[in-house]
Structure 1
Amino acid sequence: MTLAPVAAASPGAERNAAPYLYGTELGALAEVLATGHYGHTAVTEAFERQVADFLGVPDVVAVCSGTAALHIALIAAGVGPGHEVLVPSMTFCASVQAILATGAEPRFLDVNPATMCTTPDLVNEALTERTAAVMPVHFGGRNTDLAPLERLLSNRGITVVEDAAHAFGSHDNGGRPIGAVGRLTCFSFGPIKNLTCGQGGAIVPRSPNEAARLRALRMLGVAGPSADRAATTYEVTATGFRYQMSSLNAAIGTAQLARFEETAIARRTLWRAYREALSGIPGVELVDMDVSRSVPHLCIVRIPDRDRVWVQMRSAGIGVGVHYPPNHLQPAFSRWARSLPATERLARHILTLPFHQHLTVDDIHHTAAALRRALSTGDLR
């Protein structure tokens, strides 16, 4: 039996997803293909409005990826050369690459091992005179609560740019949707995210002026409706990037959003099944979450002898992974390395179990049983 890694679909996932993939999404794609216009169109703008309505915010700016969202959000916040951006080392490398793309430098943060998210105390300890922004990562769908630092950061002119790539549909400690609390919030709608566009991302701006700035940045600095074919000219008013979301990706996202509540319920149900199945297995610690206010994205455990267990599970066809190798230990980012003891301990023990909404409870019990055998005997046969 093969269970999917987090980043791929399993045969079972394809079977269970077929009514969606060959129904709603395919129909939405067919409608766009029939128009002959595949770039940024009214379909993209309708998707933006629908996401804004879902989050309860005035506006959303759709882009081609979560990385693009982080990049231009940082630029819109005024981040550039000479600045530092505080970011947890325990995140996908895209978070760091987005910072470097602005000309700024990362200053890596440690995390709370219980949540794999950073904390207000860790952020406060890492602030320097060059800090221009803080990028909390809502790891696995968990909220990083920086509310105790909001006044301090605001007084110092430091912008919070939320990396909510894992957290679409999750809520903060006050019950508000992540993205709806007045920060620059960036989502990813990549292939394995809670809501997928195939590829894509979005930014929640803090004001109409910021939204206009982000729209110019995503469209090569072109001001106004560049897609208006009746216009004889257009103005390029600033530096920009080709970061707009295509109507094909927006169509997939629209179909996904229409049933997102179903997706959220499935993910929460499967998380609870994992919690029950893993309980009582010696040596296994689930990095748990409050699923009443979060939509889980990754299922991670801490275990002894992780590398051996990883090999045993993969050899049995169970797609385990590791999210993520710490960035401060990566060769490309070594010049900004600093001691992060919790992150470094976590990195030796974390294992990501297969997790997506097309799993079954039987799949989860199969995975848990295999993990128990690997830990107790080292043999999955």
Structure 2
Amino acid sequence: MTTHIGSPAADARRNASPYLYGQEAAAVARVLETGQYGHTEVTEEFEGRVAEFLNVRDAVAVMSGTAALHTALLAIGIGPGHEVVVPSMTFCATVQAILATGATPRFVDIDPATLCVTDQLVMDAVTDRSRAVLPVLFGGRPVDLTRIRKELASRDIVIVEDAAHAFGSSHGPRLVGATGDLTCFSFGPVKNLTCGQGGIVIPRTRDEADTIRRIRMLGVVRSQGERDRTTGYQVEGYGLRYQMSGINAAIGLAQFPHFEDTTRTRRRLWRAYRRALAALDGVRLVDVDPDRSVPHLCQVLIPNRDEVHAQMKASGVGVGIHYAPNHLQPAFARWRRNLPATEQAGAEILTLPFHQYLTEADIDQVVTALGQALTETGATPRAGRSQQ
């Protein structure tokens, strides 16, 4: 029988909780027993497992999802003087990865139904300085930019998918990561598959994979024979210490056999929320398309969000706000643009507890608390259909 780590009773009221299946500790112990804690053969085994799962040729593991984005952008030559088109509705890590290259963000608005970019919004935002588009697969929902891929390529603009929320989601018959675009995943603590901390880049070519591997290892390559007999390595370019440790990789490998169960559970819980929320008027559920996604978040849009958020927190329900629009943040204010859909979503979005310790009874309790908060803050729900 699988042993789950943690207390479901304690975790049910949290916004999100890491979910372990019980084999992770033993997997980490095996790595610790080797005395080698950095990048090891276990890391390479994890890379191979991800590549096999996605049906791609290569995968390069790094220490975080942010590192994956930064490394991918560096690998395609993004730097000072370049713009990267990116939705403002994302975690600030996405923007910080762009700034770390010396490039600047070109913020783009979102479809209010999905909180994701569309092909038309992207094309309206690109400029002569744009060299990459960084669509965010918000909540796990795939973003289809197929219709503009050739147009972007003709303008030397590369699509780099921020798929931090979307491991296991699919574009039609292919999984995200196997569509031909450069793709970055996160395996942080509360992701659908966790390494404790980690990320991975899915490159488009072997040369791109070699470049990413060199960058993540401080620009170092091991010497071959007479190339350098003194130091045993050569530094061939700019790099950072971004490699994933074998300890983190071992956690991910232990999670993989259970990923099908993870997928079923997260889809079932998201659909349970959809059914329960249908009784509340004035509440719109953000659509993640659970038939194609492995849902990472469950979110609603409500006009009096701040009051409801405070009321639910006071009652002990772990709601959150994901995310405050980046173009309104002080650090990024110089790149502010008029993004009406993003600003409205930023003012209305509320993230409900969503993790695998939840039961459908827990979900009913959360939705009941939401209804009570709506009543107490002046927006009385009525029986009927939510706006979806």
Q: Does 1:37 align with 2:36?
A: yes
Q: Distance in 2 between matches of 1:337 and 1:95?
A: 16
In 2: Cα distance, 1:354 partner to 1:74 partner: 33
Farther-moved stretch of structure 1 (146-155 vs 286-295): 286-295
Q: Give ranges in structure 1 of 5+ residues lacking alignment.
A: none
Separation of aligned partners in 2, 1:301 and 1:231: 60
- Quote the Cα distance in structure 1 between the aligned partners of 2:339 and 2:321: 18
Question: Which residue of the partner structure matches residue 272 of structure 1?
Answer: 271
Per the alignment, residue 15 of structure 2 pairs with 6
Q: How big is each residue's C-alpha offset from its partner over 1:115-140, in whole Å with a ceiling of 9 and x where there is no partner?
A: 00000010000110000000000000
Correspondence list, 1:173-212, <5 A: 174-212=172-210
Please tell me whether the aligned partners of residues 269 and 360 of structure 2 are also in contact (alpha carbons under 8 angstroms).
yes
Secondary structure at 2:49 match in 1: helix
2:288, 2:213 → 1: CA distance? Answer: 35
Check whether the contact 1:6–1:298 (CA below 8 A) recurs between aligned residues. no
Name the aligned partner's letter for residue 190 of structure 1.
G
Deviation at 1:232, TM superposition (A): 5.3
Q: Give the structure 2 partner of residue 120 of structure 1.
A: 119
**1:321-364: CA deviations, max 9, x gaps?**
00000000000000000000000111111100000122111110
Instruction: Indicate the residue corresponding to 1:131 in structure 2.
Output: 130
Residue 96, structure 1, aligned to residue 80, structure 2: no
Q: What is the percent sequence identity of the aligned residues? A: 60
Q: Distance in 2 between matches of 1:298 and 1:276?
A: 16
After superposition, the C-alpha distances for 1:202-224 in whole angstroms (9 at most, x for unaligned) are 00000111101000000000013
Secondary structure, counterpart of 1:348 in structure 2: helix
Q: Distance in 2 between matches of 1:357 and 1:293?
A: 19
Q: Is the Cα–Cα contact under 8 Å of residues 5 and 321 in structure 1 kept in the other structure? A: no
1:313 aligns with 2:322: no
Q: Distance between the aligned counterparts of 1:261 and 1:7, measured in 2?
A: 20
For 2:298 and 2:175, the matched residues in 1 are separated by 21
Post-superposition Cα deviations, 1:143-179, rounded to whole Å, max 9, x if no partner, equal 111111011011111100100000000001x221000
Check conservation: 2:113, 2:286, Cα contact below 8 A. yes
Amino acid in the other structure paired with 2:209: A
Asked whether the equivalents of residues 223 and 232 of structure 2 are also in contact (C-alpha less than 8 Å), the reply is no
Query: 1:293 aligned to 2:292?
Result: yes
| CA apart distance, 1:201 | 0.1
- The equivalent residue for 2:303 is 304
Cα–Cα, structure 1 residues 231 and 114, in superposed 2: closer, same or farther, change >3 Å?
A: farther
Q: State the alpha-carbon separation in 2 of the partners of residues 6 and 52 from structure 1.
A: 31
Q: Structure 1 residues 187-196 or 283-292, which shifts more? A: 283-292
How many angstroms apart in 2 are the aligned matches of 1:6 and 1:150?
36
| 1:209-253 Cα deviation digits (max 9, x unpaired) | 110100000000001389xxx995100100100000000000000
What SS class does the counterpart of residue 210 from structure 1 fall into?
A: helix
Inter-partner Cα distance in structure 2 for 1:7 and 1:271: 13
Matching of residue 322 in structure 1 with residue 331 in structure 2: no
CA positional deviation for 1:8: 4.3
Cα distance in 2, alignment partners of residues 34 and 358 from structure 1 = 31
- Report the secondary structure of 2:337's partner residue: coil
One-letter amino acid of the counterpart of residue 217, structure 1: I
CA distance in 1, matches of 2:16, 2:355: 9
Compute the TM-score of the two structures, normalised by the length of structure 2: 0.91
Change (3 A) 1:225 1:184: farther
Partner of 1:166: 165
Quickly say closer, same or farther: Cα 1:7–1:269, change in 2 above 3 A.
closer
TM-score, normalized by length of structure 1? Answer: 0.93
For 1:270 and 1:252, the matched residues in 2 are separated by: 24
Structure-to-structure mapping, 1:228-267, within 5 angstroms: 233-267=232-266
One-letter amino acid of the structure 2 residue matched with residue 310 of structure 1: H
Q: Is the 8 A contact 1:164 1:187 kept in 2?
A: yes
Shift in alpha-carbon separation, 1:231–1:144, aligned structure 2, 3 A: farther
Is 1:335 the equivalent of 2:334?
A: yes
- Aligned partners of 1:64, 1:284: CA distance in 2, in Å? 38
Deviation, 1:288, is 1.8
